[in-house]
Chains A and B, each alone.
Chain A
């Protein structure tokens, strides 16, 4: 199975009902799966920090939520992550990396090069996936930590896993 499908299967397994995202090419397939799932509220965000509020509201209402974003989006969330630490909400964020492997866009590098450090400073347990074969296990483990333990978990999907971004005419 294609690795985004494995992530989606983990979402189904743990009963995630709300998925917030600012679209990213690396998340296209997973976004599509969530949008097409009538049991998931797919919520397209104007900025990634909105997703943090969404997760908090979902948790208050007894539902599980996940956030999908690109590494640049992590920078937009920093203060809002205080909600997670102060209130102890379960939080699962899946991040597609830019600014590392074969990145041609220099604008991606400043945030891409500090993404994991930023997440850790914000109190997230942060795990990196570099190989397709590791996706299922690491995402599954992350889900169980977030929702079994009310923990804040970030899973970083390496740029090498996602593949080179090709600009074609």
Chain B
């Protein structure tokens, strides 16, 4: 399992002129933790809108790369936008879903991915949506695959087409509680 802060840091370490849109909740913390940057757009609301903001930005700035970094809950709320993005298919847009299978800000309630809803399978089913990459499988999240996956994201942003990557994360809250305590854990 990947540590979210480490993963995002590695993703952004050599960002150059990458435009980053972060979804509300932990992803915004993760991106800000790498250091504030004028090319970051942080969301703390508009849940479900991150990917579409990425689309508008990618269409407006075709010569720049756009990364939408969001969580599973936020991505699920905007699931239809994967179809909308699939129709336009901008090559300069990548969506990375930090999937810890829980709604982090509201008490770590399990999300749909916890029950087995597979976002990569959704993207694949949408076919034209992306060249979807399950770059990180739950069984092989070691350092090599992280680096390999990041390299793949970078080249995919440049070359292949709108890309969706789901990064399964270490889940910090114990158990599978509904309405878990608000302990401030990420």
Interface residues of A (CB under 8 A from B): 17-18, 41, 43-47, 49-63, 65, 79-80, 82-83, 86
Contacts and interface: CB of A to CB of B under 8 A. Distances in A.
B53 interface: yes
Interface residues of A: mostly helix, strand, loop or mixed? helix
Contacts of B57: 57-58, 60-61
B34 to A, nearest CB: 19
Given A57-B52, A57-B55, 14 more contacts: A18-B56, A43-B87, A46-B80, A47-B80, A52-B46, A53-B49, A57-B58, A57-B59, A57-B60, A58-B57, A58-B60, A61-B60, A61-B61, A83-B53
A58 B59 contact: yes
Interface residues of B, number: 27
Interface residues of B: mostly helix, strand, loop or mixed? helix
Contact of B52 (A17, A54, A61, A86): A54
Contacts of A58: 56-57, 59-60
Contact of A55 (B56, B80, B88): B56
B59 A53 contact: no
A65 B46 contact: no
A50 B58 CA distance: 15
A125 B18 CA distance: 35
Interface of B: 19, 21, 41, 45-61, 78, 80-81, 83-84, 87-88
A63 B51 contact: no
11 contacts: A43-B88, A45-B84, A46-B81, A52-B49, A56-B56, A57-B57, A60-B19, A60-B56, A61-B58, A63-B60, A82-B45
B59 to A, nearest CB: 5
A46 B19 CA distance: 25
Nearest to B41: A60
Contacts of A54: 52-53, 55-56
A41 B59 contact: yes
A43 B26 CA distance: 29
A40 to B, nearest CB: 10
B53 A53 contact: yes
Contacts of A18: 56, 59-60
Nearest to A84: B46
Contacts of B49: 49-50, 52-53, 56, 80, 83
B88 A50 contact: no
B60 A44 contact: no
A15 B41 CA distance: 24
